[in-house]
Every structure is written in C-alpha cells, then in structure tokens.
Structure 1
Amino acid sequence: MTIDAKNILVSYTKNGKKDNTISIINSVDITIVPGKVTVIFGRSGSGKTTLISVLAGLLKPQEGSVLYDDIDLYQQNDDFISDFRSKNIGFIPQGQSLLSNLTIKENILLANNNGNDSDRAEELIELLGLSEREEYLSSQLSGGELRRCAIARALINQPSVVFADEPTGDLDDDNTQIVFELLRQKAKDGAAVVIVTHDESAYNYADIVYRMDGGVLALSDTQK
C-alpha cells in the first residue's frame, strides 16, 4: 500500500489571533512505499510527530491530501477512517498508551481485530524479550518494557503500514537493535514502515532518509 501525501499544512493560531499563526508543518509532500523503511530525523518540535499523525489518519491537516493507493483518506467519514486504521495501520506512539489493569498479553490482544491470535502474540512477546513478564500488569513494567509491549500491540494485526514514533526512546542498545531489526523485517515482508526518531543508529536500517526542521521536510543529502 503506497501513501502519497501532498501539500500538507498544519498550523494553529496563538491566543486565538489570526494574525499570530504558528506553522507546524509547512506544505510537505512525501510518498511512502511498501517494502521500504523510511526514517525521518529531526529535533524535538520539528513537526515529526505531527506529520506521522496526519499520515496515519489521526490528525486532519488544514490543507493537503493523504492518499492510500486510490483512497483519499480525509475525504472519508470518521467511521471509515477508524476502521481503515484498525485494519491497515500499526501505530507505535511515543508516550504510554497501555491499559494499566491488563497484562502484557491482554494489552497486545486488545488491539487484535482478527480474532484471538494468541500464537502471534506469543511470537511477538518472545521476539521482544518479554516472555518472563507476559502475565505482569502494565503498571508493573519498566519504561522499556512498556515500549516493547506497545510495539508488539502495533504489530499484532500484521499491518500493511507501520508508523513508529521514537520506538527506541526508552531502550538500551541491545533492545534498540532488536526493535529496528523487527521493523526492518516488516518492510522485507512488504509493509511500508515509517520511523521518526532522534536515534542516528536508525540510519543503518533505512532505505529512505528525510530530515525535518521547522515543519519543512527534505530528503537527506546522503542516501543509502
């Protein structure tokens, strides 16, 4: 599934004054292709998270379009967009998003819309080094364990598109490598994978590299 975003503009008015408009994303064009890992580097506040929120159908831009193949996403109603995301998109958020009263496995399976795919959940739990914590409540986990659980939850449905927002922010070097290799494998299996990150080691797993600064997106001068 190819994503083609054109002329994306996101801004807000400070203190409600139209003459005091702050631009978050400024006329961004980007095409995301299946089978590739696209990495977007940029400082905090550069617009990376806002951009992937727009691409993932979570935030409607003031201007521009986001097409998934021939589907113009923001021309659809909210129910369609929600169902489309559930079936096609895995999103790894930057912050904590798990339910504290559920175990790791329960949190992962909660996102599964293809039935109770316990075997797939077990596979991801093992790949991400969480087997010894499988029956722990999320409230009992460390930041890194919560991050890995969120990654497993995003991948449980075998999505055709994966968006990862700082997926290794809470992880040590070994787990960072595991996560990047898992996302790399998703691309090899045919998914379109988009990673936004500060972590320069992500470059080693990228097919396409962008830099974002002040809401402006540009291809990196050095491509793999």
Structure 2
Amino acid sequence: MRASTESRRDRQRRELVAEIIAVACRQLDEGGPGNVSWRGVAREVGMNPASLYTYFASLDDLFTALITESFHALAGAVGQAFDDSAGAEPVDRLLACVRAYRAWAVAHPRRFNLIWTDQLPGYAAPPEGPTVTAEQAVYRPFLLAVGETEGRGDRLAEFAALPTGDQHRLLGLFGTLHGLVSLEINSHLAPGLVDGEALIVDRMTHALRHVHPPRDSSSAASPDQ
C-alpha cells in the first residue's frame, strides 16, 4: 500500500476545517442559521476571528460548506438505506430510502430547512459549486430505486439524460415525499394526531402505484419491449 502523500500541515488544515464545520453544524442545530456567527464559531474552535479567514473567505463561504456537508449527510443516510436493502423487492428498497430521508429530516430539522429553503438573506450558493453536486447525490439512490421498480436498473441514474416525461414523473414522486416531510418537521402535519412515517410511506406507496401501476400478468409486455 502506498503511503499517504498528505503532509502534516495539510492534514492539520483538513482536520481544523472539519472541526470548524462541525461547530457551525452544532450551532445551527441549537438555534438555526441566526445562531451561526463568525465570532461564535471562532471562539468555540479556540482561534481569533481574524484567523478564521485563513480557512473561509466569509460567513457565506462557511454556510456553503455547511450546506454541502448537510447534503452529503442526507445523501449518505439515504444511500446507506438503499445499500442495506439490497436483495429486497424494488418497491421496498424505494420505501427504505423514503424512511431514511424522513428520519434524517426529523433528526436534523434545522439542517433540512437550511438546505432546502431560502433562510439566508442575501446568500446565493455558487453556481455549479459544491452544493449543486452534493444536492444531486441525494437524488441518486431514489433514481436507482425507481429504476429497479421499472426493471431499468441504473438507467435512471442520470436525471439530466432522461426524457421530459420521466423527469416530470420522478420530480412528482420526490415532491410528494419532500412536501410531506417538510410539513411534518415544521409542525404542519397535525402533530400528535398523525403518524408521520406511516402517512408518508402510505402516500409514497400510493404515488408510486399511481405513476407506475403494477401490470396484470396476462397483459405484461414482452421482455423485448
């Protein structure tokens, strides 16, 4: 095995950047975006606020890293659910992704709202920047799972290459999931009266069957179709 070429200096920088992002994540979890401050992060990390500019150009730059990290965490949770359900029925694999998406949002509601809603006045994510790539990673397990339900394997993995009809159908499915999860974590889903997970799984199962109803065996298409 080749020895790592990362220098001690580079490793220390990488670890400090990770610590800064972790502190910002904790501040976000505790009080929302308004609780994340330049001085507060610097103080918790144990450095002078001016020194923070060595690692991030601005608070917006730090929020970009925070959003990217949160997208990766959500994508990791959904991807792990997809991998762990290998061998299950395709619809069950999709529902495993649904449950993982909801569970992450319930556990991290402020991060979920940050990455999906405009909560930072004046902030704009860099076009084609790291947040874009990280967001796309969230969709991939869902695309693969839906592809399996339709017998198309990984042919749905590249959303941009899909016909418009397929894009609209998949966005409709994801919109159903995302909308219900957003309602739940923001206490707009009859809290205490409705089982959020049961409702979301039921609606997603219904939506999937509505968009791609199971074929009757007597009218199934030939393998070549």
TM-score by length of 2: 0.29
Higher RCO, 1 vs 2 (CA within 8 Å, ≥6 residues apart): 1
Give the number of the structure whose alpha-carbon radius of gyration is greater.
2
